[in-house]
């Protein structure tokens, strides 16, 4: 498990491009027949990817790192959100099978002991993207299809940000301790995912960009509003965003991204906006 340590605005302002990428960028989310994990000290979020091919993957056996949390199994004191961006697969949690198609979500509560992943067709693997946060109690597990998600349409063509937001793990859909997750799909011709930019001291986020066509990239904007920087993102890569940072992206064409939020506040619209003319 890769471990990242928290960085403040002061350290950020002195970082080189490589230093920023080493702290915030996750370049390998999906590795065939492996489970990947990055643990950030920013709100203790864990970002994971599972891409089963020929074998069924066990979250405990494939990452021998849970001793770093001082627990006997991963979700002893954590909750987990999963969104499948690949072909059909199956997540089995404590003996219950959840069949997950493309853009299906799954919430697993604290206390879930055994979690495995497999693809329905090894030649067309599932790609399970996951975020985990500390949890103080246990709520019911729930499978959420794309149709079950809370759907919000925002933006316009004239501002290059027409998009549909699917809120999978969200107070409007189910109850969690602090984790929220969803997916934002940009329409053809739209490239900005959030503008004007904003911050929210009450929670951090992790963005995972995908459906980026070959030879295209997304510029993920970060930093304080008075000192912005960017991290270039390729397909199926993630970026950690601290609460003091803006988190806005602009692509060379439209794309999709999953946002995972961790913090005290689960109100999706609770933001501290920054006017475009105030950005530097």
Q: What tens digit of pLDDT does each residue of 143-153 get? A: 999 999 999 99
Q: What tens digit of pLDDT does each residue of 133-179 get? A: 999 999 999 999 999 999 999 999 999 999 999 999 999 999 999 99
The CATH number for 192's domain is: 2.60.120.10
Pairing state of beta strands 218-224 and 180-186?
unpaired
Give me the chain's average pLDDT, please.
93
* Residue 45, pLDDT score: 97
* Residue 280, pLDDT score: 86
Mean of the pLDDT values across residues 21-41?
96
Look up the domain containing 47 and give its range.
Answer: 2-278
Q: Of 136, 135, 118, whose CA–CA distance to 127 is shortest?
A: 118
Mean of the pLDDT values across residues 237-249?
95
Cβ(130)–Cβ(82) under 8 Å? yes
Q: What tens digit of pLDDT does each residue of 94-103 get? A: 999 999 999 9
Cβ(12)–Cβ(221) under 8 Å? no
Q: How many domains does the chain have?
A: 1
Mean of the pLDDT values across residues 96-122?
97
Cα three-residue angle 214-217-220, rounded to 5 degrees: 155
Cα three-residue angle 243-247-249, rounded to 5 degrees: 170
Cβ(131)–Cβ(206) under 8 Å? yes
* Residue 15, pLDDT score: 93
Cβ(40)–Cβ(240) under 8 Å? yes
* Residue 64, pLDDT score: 62
* Residue 265, pLDDT score: 64
* Residue 66, pLDDT score: 65
Mean of the pLDDT values across residues 181-198?
93
Q: What tens digit of pLDDT does each residue of 35-73 get? A: 999 999 999 999 999 999 999 999 988 766 666 788 889
Q: Is the pLDDT of residue 271 over 80?
A: no
* Residue 196, pLDDT score: 83
Q: Please give the model's pTM, rounded to 2 decimal places.
A: 0.95
């Amino acid at each position: 498990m890769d471990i990242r340590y928290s960085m403040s605005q002061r350290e950020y302002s002195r970082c080189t491009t490589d230093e920023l990428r080493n702290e915030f960028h996750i370049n390998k989310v999906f590795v065939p027949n492996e489970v990947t994990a990055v643990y950030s000290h920013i709100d203790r979020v864990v970002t994971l990817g599972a891409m089963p091919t020929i074998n069924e993957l066990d979250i405990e056996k494939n990452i021998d790192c849970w001793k770093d949390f001082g627990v006997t199994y991963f979700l002893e004191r954590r909750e987990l959100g999963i969104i499948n961006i690949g072909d059909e697969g199956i997540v089995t949690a404590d003996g219950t099978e959840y069949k997950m198609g493309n853009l299906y979500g799954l919430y697993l509560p604290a206390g879930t002991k055994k979690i495995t992943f497999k693809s329905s067709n090894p030649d067309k693997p599932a790609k399970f993207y996951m975020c985990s946060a500390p949890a103080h109690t246990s709520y019911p597990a729930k499978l959420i299809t794309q149709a079950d998600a809370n759907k919000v349409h925002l933006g316009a063509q004239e501002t290059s940000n027409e998009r549909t937001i699917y809120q999978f793990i969200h107070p409007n859909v189910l109850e969690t301790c602090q984790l929220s997750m969803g997916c934002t799909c940009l329409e053809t011709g739209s490239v900005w995912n959030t503008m004007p930019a904003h911050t929210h001291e009450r929670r951090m986020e992790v963005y995972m960009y995908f459906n980026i066509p070959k030879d295209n990239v997304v510029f993920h904007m970060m930093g304080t509003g008075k000192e912005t920087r960017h991290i270039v993102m390729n397909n199926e890569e993630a970026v950690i965003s601290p609460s003091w940072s803006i988190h806005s992206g602009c692509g060379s064409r439209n794309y999709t991204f999953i946002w995972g939020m961790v913090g005290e506040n689960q109100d999706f619209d609770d933001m501290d906006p920054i006017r475009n003319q105030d950005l530097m």
